[in-house]
Amino acid sequence: MISKTRTFIINVAIIIAILYKTNIVLSDDNSQIPADRSQVDSWFNKIVGPLSQRKSTLEPALVSAEAAPKVIKVMQDGSGEFKTITAAINSIPTGNNKRVIIKIGPGNYKEKIKIERSRPFITFLGNPKNMPNLTFDGTAKKYGTVDSATLIVMSDYFVAANIAISNSAARPDARRSGGQAVALRTSGDKSAFYNCKIYGFQDTVCDDRNNHLFKDCLIQGTVDYIFGSGKSLYLKTELRTLGTKDVTVIVAQARKSESEDYIYSFVHCDLTGTGTRTFLGRAWLSHAKVAFAYSTMTKVIHPEGWCNNLHSEYNKTLFFGEYKNTGPGADTKKRVKFTKQLSDGEAKPFITLGIIQGSRWLLPPPNF
């Protein structure tokens, strides 16, 4: 007969085994992005596998939503259910709890598009060989900065793949106010952008709040062209600066206290463009937290790297980190003193999916 003590030990062993197995699954958020760029996609595909393999570790609401996705087609030639993206969105009931894939045909869609918070689980899907272009010319003067966006996403679990998003307003200059023109504002939680091209000048992407992933994207702009209070990972994304003789800035992050959990992490990104006076980021507010890792920086980057926005008192509270970047723009010899060159341990939180808890909600990019 098995003794109570032995039974207890066996039960404890079983529990430990279960917990250990659970930790292995959940530890995907702790798996570091490879230093070798050629290995990144295989690393990502291993962690962000198909739904059928990850139902036990994904969020239940997401698993339920993905069980029977609905497809809606938008075609300007009338061969789909709708001719405009706005009409397709409006056909989705509020309180929607199922994945709706809006397949968007080629062409320029001049619409100011907004997805309200009450419509989660929406996917915009374009053809990678002939991307649709969502475009509008809204400006801060008419709409206010954040509401000038061509595409505003307020809802959770949004996905965009193979989509171009642009704001066609003129490039702002010092002679006219209110020229900021946002292409994309993403405010909902757990949004992913795959192979998207986002074009603008000042304030191109309002990475407003919550968790987001940008992978294999292109973001183009001039000043503060990624800004906001998001907690986001930019992976293998080109940041293209349209620089001139004037100063340009990639990132303006709005973290204003130590308690705020806002982070922008750029990993294996390509920093390209024109000009030679582009700052990686500026201290828009006192506790900005931004890191670049494994990224390639061309000569467009200013030798000083970062700007405290003429607030020297911010030097002790901001966090501008760099880790194993390459290229002429990554030379640290003339970097400002408040830049932090990260150790392996300090860099680790910035080079995993854990920054956005991605293994709990990310799914592979959809196929057209």
Residues annotated as catalytic (active site), given as ranges:
224
Burial class (CB in 10 A: 0-12, 13-18, 19+), 176: exposed
Q: Measuring CA to CA, which residue among 85, 67, 65, 66 is closest to residue 75?
A: 85
What is the pairing mode between strands 296-297 and 270-274?
parallel
- CB 132 within 8 Å of CB 161: no
- CB 89 within 8 Å of CB 122: yes
H-helix or E-strand spanning residue 185: strand 184-186
Q: Measuring CA to CA, which residue among 76, 117, 80 is closest to residue 101?
A: 80
Q: How many Å apart are CA 334 and CA 305, to the nearest integer?
A: 8
Q: How many Å apart are CA 212 and CA 187, to the nearest integer?
A: 9
